[in-house]
Amino acid sequence: MTDASLPAAPAAPARPKPGADAVAKAAAGGRKLTTVYVYEAPVRLWHWVNALSIVVLCVTGYFIGSPFPTLSGEASAHYLMGTIRFVHFSAGYILAVAFLGRIAWAFMGNQWSRELFTFRFWRKDFWRGCFTEIQWYAFLKPRPLKFVGHNPLAQFFMFWVMVVGLAFMIVTGFALYSEGAGPGSWQDVMFGWVIPLLGGSMQVHTLHHLGMWAIILFVIIHVYSVIREDIMSRQSMVSAMTSGYRSFKDDDPE
């Protein structure tokens, strides 16, 4: 009997390639991206420069508002407060320049670079998202929503503190600086009008000092919420501001 007379062996059924179902599901829209490049390098640089500047400004600003007791001897031998003021002014310049750079990048960067300056307060889904986040922070919801950029509640507070609040602190800070720079200086020309508008130098000092405490309170809440979300939410937080990539812990669309 020759080989030709043997019955043909049945063909083995085709085996699907590993991961084919997952690829097909992803193509059909059943899965979401697990990693998205959100925060570009200029945004991340601004975040950390801004954070360091705020820390320096708050520490030095506190001692400017509550200076050390006067020491005996020549003033030239005790220039600590002068050094503190110099560091404060230097950090203020860095903060202001970085703030202007951040505004410029909002026009040049990706869609998430503009989130800091705009939020859709006119849309119901924005306020619904804020309410959902509040419920989750209050432990009334077991599962938060997923967001590529900032969640609505973060957008709301970031706008009012990091845009409006910082702008107020920069303007009032340079207004106070103009008193030392003198009449006719560019600080006086650009910001001197703020002092009479707000009721005088002492009033501006008070508002500037209160603004510092408002920012300190925001920083405490911000650090807490970032750490909490990094552990409990459905997306990465801390690593997103170092690498720029946001990773998601599940593939559920909502």
Report, as an integer, the average pLDDT of 50-76: 88
Segment among 74-78, 171-175, 223-227, 230-234 with least mean pLDDT = 74-78
Segment among 36-40, 51-55, 112-116, 234-238 with least mean pLDDT = 234-238
Q: Is the pLDDT of residue 64 over 70?
A: yes
Report, as an integer, the average pLDDT of 175-204: 95
Residue 72, number of CB atoms within 10 A of its CB: 6
What class is the 89-241 domain?
Answer: mainly alpha
What pLDDT, in 10s, does the model give residues 120-152? 888 888 898 899 899 988 888 888 888 888 888
What is the distance between the alpha carbons of residues 139 and 159, in angstroms, rounded to a whole number?
25
Q: What pTM was estimated for this model as a whole? A: 0.81
Domain boundaries, the chain: 89-241
Q: Which residue has the higher pLDDT, 26 or 218?
A: 218
Q: Which residue has the higher pLDDT, 57 or 31?
A: 57
φ, ψ of residue 82 to 5 degrees: the values are -65, -40
Q: How confident is the model at residue 75 (pLDDT cuts 50, 70, 90)?
A: low
What are the residue ranges of helices labelled H in the chain?
20-27, 41-65, 80-108, 124-137, 152-158, 166-181, 186-191, 194-197, 201-232, 240-243
Q: Which residue has the higher pLDDT, 4 or 213?
A: 213
